[in-house]
Structure 1
Amino acid sequence: MNKPIIYFLCTGNSCRSQMAEGLGKEILGDEWDVYSAGIEAHGINPKAVEMMDEIGIDIRNQESQVIDQNVLNESKLVITLCGDAKENCPVIPTGVETAHWGLVDPAKAEGTEEEVNKVFRDVRDEIKRRIEDLK
């Protein structure tokens, strides 16, 4: 039997949704098929890769993709990670559970490298906490 699908959506599928996909596979992979996508595909942010490496999760082989209507239609749970995705997501089919986690975009963080890293870590750790709450 197929596992239920959880689909993480964001604007560019470069940071938040990529981290969520990596964390989701690590934490929920035994029970869920985990995917991510964006309104657009901006490529994976190197800082997201670096911050995930810190906790032992390699997301280098994930791909930045636009929302796949077939995956969306088959999803059991769709989680939007930013207002743009929530407002501009294609129509989610009736019966698909949805949640919105409005998280700051770490790609827009400014300041020293350490300050930027802190924003990425904070977002990563918040996503991790919320995914663990889904178990």
Structure 2
Amino acid sequence: MKRVLFVCTANSARSQMAEALLRHFGGGGFEVFSAGMAPSEVDPRTLQALQDFGLETAGLKSKSVESLADQHFDFVISLCDKAHMECRHWPGSGVVMAWDFPDPKDSGDPKAFARSLQEISERIRLFVLVNSKDVKSEVKSVQPLDFFKSLADETRLRCLLLIAQQGELCVCELMAALALPQPKISRHLGQLRKVGLLLDRRQGQWVFYRIHPLLNDWMREILQTTLEHSAQLLETPRARLGEMNSRPLAEGSICDEEDVNGI
């Protein structure tokens, strides 16, 4: 398990987002920490943005880099210039990286925190793709015609939007959300994976699907814009998903992934 530390000045927004996102997308392959050069309280808008994204926020708190100074990390990743200057020679670190994202606290945009979370999530997905041993799919460039053909089918569009909104979903969750049988859901997921829109990973008995981390930015923006302006498309599916009794990560839950690997 690789140890990753995210650092920024206050450890109140960007590094907290990165910590929560890597825990969510990392599939248990990373031990994740965050800290600040001058730690303060976690900004409530950070917690709200994470919760709106469907991420767990329990246990997130601001910490100082001094509290972790004697620990080894495979990656030390700064999210602002100041933190990078002060942490570029972290004792015993493997790789030191600089990800410079604007501080959403300095913005007057009411969507600044949501936008920061989206931008950091794209970088986290790429980081997981490059550093995860579980990723076996080859990188494929999605062709514009294949992209728009995929959006032209209602089931595929709803699958893409639900996955983009939730981060990851398995077949059983999409079956519940869309009230469709497993063979139909699996067939559409297979088509989306074949053209390069989705990436899958196995965790125990489940296979999870997520938007491909290397999807073109303009394609990702179209999905995000559609999410923002077509809430009615997902109103019923989200309600069904919320009522699902046995989500796949719940203890004792059952998810029928028959034929998923043979798509």
Q: TM-score range by the shorter chain?
A: 0.7 to 0.9
Q: Of residues 21, 28, 31 in structure 1, which corresponds to 2:29?
A: 31
Q: What RMSD, in angstroms, separates the aligned Cα atoms of the two structures?
A: 1.5
**After superposition, what is the alpha-carbon deviation per residue over 1:59-103, rounded to whole angstroms, capped at 9, x for unaligned?**
2421100011023xx100111000110112273135510111100
Cα distance in 2, alignment partners of residues 70 and 43 from structure 1: 23
Runs of 4+ in 1 over 4 A off after TM superposition: none
Contact 1:49 1:58 in 2 (8 A): no
State the AA in 2 paired with 1:69: A
Larger Rg belongs to: 2
Contact 1:79 1:99 in 2 (8 A): yes
Normalized per residue, the structure richer in helix is: 2
The aligned runs of 1:17-96 (5 Å cut-off) are: 17-67=15-65, 68-71=68-71, 74-89=72-87, 91-93=89-91, 96=94
Gap regions ≥5 residues in structure 2: 129-263
Cα distance in 1, alignment partners of residues 114 and 102 from structure 2: 12
Secondary structure of 1:63's match?
coil
Cα distance in 1, alignment partners of residues 32 and 70 from structure 2: 14
Contact 1:16 1:105 in 2 (8 A): yes
Secondary structure of 2:70's match?
helix
Instruction: Give the aligned partner of residue 131 of structure 1.
Output: 124
State the AA in 2 paired with 1:132: R
Cα distance in 2, alignment partners of residues 134 and 90 from structure 1: 19
Cα distance in 1, alignment partners of residues 126 and 6 from structure 2: 15
State the AA in 2 paired with 1:47: R
Bigger shift: residues 80-89 or 92-101? 92-101
Q: Identity percentage over the alignment?
A: 29
| Normalised TM-score (structure 2) | 0.46
Q: Could you say which structure has the greater relative contact order, defined with CA pairs below 8 angstroms and 6 or more residues apart? A: 1
Cα distance in 2, alignment partners of residues 18 and 133 from structure 1: 18
Contact 1:82 1:103 in 2 (8 A): yes
Alpha-carbon offset, residue 108 of structure 1: 1.2
Alpha-carbon offset, residue 120 of structure 1: 1.0
1:97 aligns with 2:90: no
Cα distance in 1, alignment partners of residues 101 and 49 from structure 2: 16
